[in-house]
């Protein structure tokens, strides 16, 4: 009976995601509420910390952007362009929350890099990471969000 109970507990844990809690990519939840998400049209400054990490100053808010994989050309050409997923684009928000389908790229012909997570950080964390940056720029190169389709 102990064996069946143990197997049942392990199966429930695996199905609910407990078995992968040590993997941040699988355990991450998008920012909520959506009003807390990063808005590309409000970027003051951005910094590429390394090939998988960027930080963004967005008015009084600061964000840490983690990518799903290496993105060695990120920040080249002094450009960093974010693209919201289809759902947030359709809503006319363009918010970057760490949801599936969000990307960032730098050069016009560079393949987009998938965003793994977005989290808010404080000004001190932002300043510490800013000092490690390999590229930086302003938000002036962000596309404007088109109005929603009727």
In the chain, which stretches have pLDDT less than 70?
1-27, 92, 140-150
Residue 3 falls within a domain, yes or no?
no
Report how far residue 81's alpha carbon sits from residue 119's, in angstroms, rounded to the nearest whole number: 18
Residue 5 falls within a domain, yes or no?
no
Residue 104 falls within a domain, yes or no?
yes
| Structural domain of 78 | 24-141
CB-based contacts of 29, cutoff 8 Å, min separation 6: 98
Residue 90 falls within a domain, yes or no?
yes
Residue 97 falls within a domain, yes or no?
yes
**Which pLDDT tens digit goes with each residue over 45-77?**
999 999 999 999 998 999 999 999 999 989 887
Q: What total number of domains does the chain contain?
A: 1
Of the CA atoms within 13 Å of residue 12, those in its CB half-sphere come to 6
Residue 69 falls within a domain, yes or no?
yes
Pair type for strands 61-67 and 103-105: unpaired
Residue 12 falls within a domain, yes or no?
no
């Amino acid at each position: 009976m102990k064996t069946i109970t143990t197997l049942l507990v392990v199966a429930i844990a695996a199905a609910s995601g407990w078995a992968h809690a040590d993997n941040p990519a699988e355990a991450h939840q998008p920012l909520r509420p959506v009003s807390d998400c990063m808005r590309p049209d409000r970027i003051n400054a951005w910094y590429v910390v390394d090939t998988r990490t960027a930080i963004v100053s967005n008015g009084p808010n600061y964000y840490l952007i983690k990518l799903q994989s290496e993105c060695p050309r990120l920040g080249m050409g002094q450009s960093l362009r974010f693209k919201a997923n289809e759902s947030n684009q359709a809503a006319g928000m363009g918010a970057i929350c760490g949801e599936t389908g969000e990307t960032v790229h730098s050069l016009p012909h560079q393949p987009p890099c998938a965003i793994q997570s977005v989290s808010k950080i404080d000004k001190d964390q932002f300043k510490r990471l800013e000092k490690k940056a390999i590229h930086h720029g302003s938000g002036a190169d962000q596309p404007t969000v088109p109005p929603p389709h009727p």
